[in-house]
Chains A and B, each alone.
Chain A
Amino acid sequence: MKTLSIIIQVLLGAALIYGTLDMPKWGDPHSPAASHVSPYYLQHSIEHTATPNVVTSVLADYRGYDTLGETTVIFTAGMACILLLKRRDKSQGKRHV
């Protein structure tokens, strides 16, 4: 089992490293991730939202529905924790803490 696992890790690592050979350079200012929508956010953030911190203006203004979905996820996780850790004395008999 352990050798099979190590073989799988090595194959996965080799495939991923082969995939990185065509990735853009680290710190390239003209990489595709930095060239489409993020200059728009940087240039119009103060004009649209009057916030100097661009990260918070994108988080709460431009992509506010994303944050709403995140709070839904946290609420669901909290409900799941409460429902899992609740004591059920009658249905399951004896329970230890």
Chain B
Amino acid sequence: MILPFNLILVLFVYICAIAAITIRDLLSAVVILGAYSFLMCLLWTEMAAIDVAFTEASVSAGIGTVLMIGAISKTKRRSKD
């Protein structure tokens, strides 16, 4: 655990989380959610949880983003709020 690095990563995680729920274009929101997952992965590497980090990078940031893009391609891309 390195305190300044942790604070910077937490700041970026917050920016990504707020952007993912406010952007109206759903494809952009999903891609930002993928970036959020990768930043979480860096945060866990910094907390010495490397197994969780590479599981997050492959499963949540990889397969999760692919599943959500597939669902958006079968439904609508625009959102009202």
Contact = CB atoms under 8 A, between A and B. Distances in A.
A55 B51 contact: yes
Nearest to B67: A81
B73 to A, nearest CB: 11
Nearest to B49: A55
B45 to A, nearest CB: 14
A28 to B, nearest CB: 12
Interface residues of B, number: 3
A56 B74 contact: no
The interface residues of chain B, by DSSP majority, are classed as: helix
Contact of B51 (A26, A27, A56, A97): A56
Contacts of A27: 1
Contacts of A97: 74
A26 B1 CA distance: 10
Contacts of A26: 1
A53 B51 CA distance: 10
Interface string B49-68: 00100000000000000000
Interface string A17-43: 000000000110000000000000000
A56 B51 CA distance: 9
A56 B1 CA distance: 22
Contacts of B1: 26-27
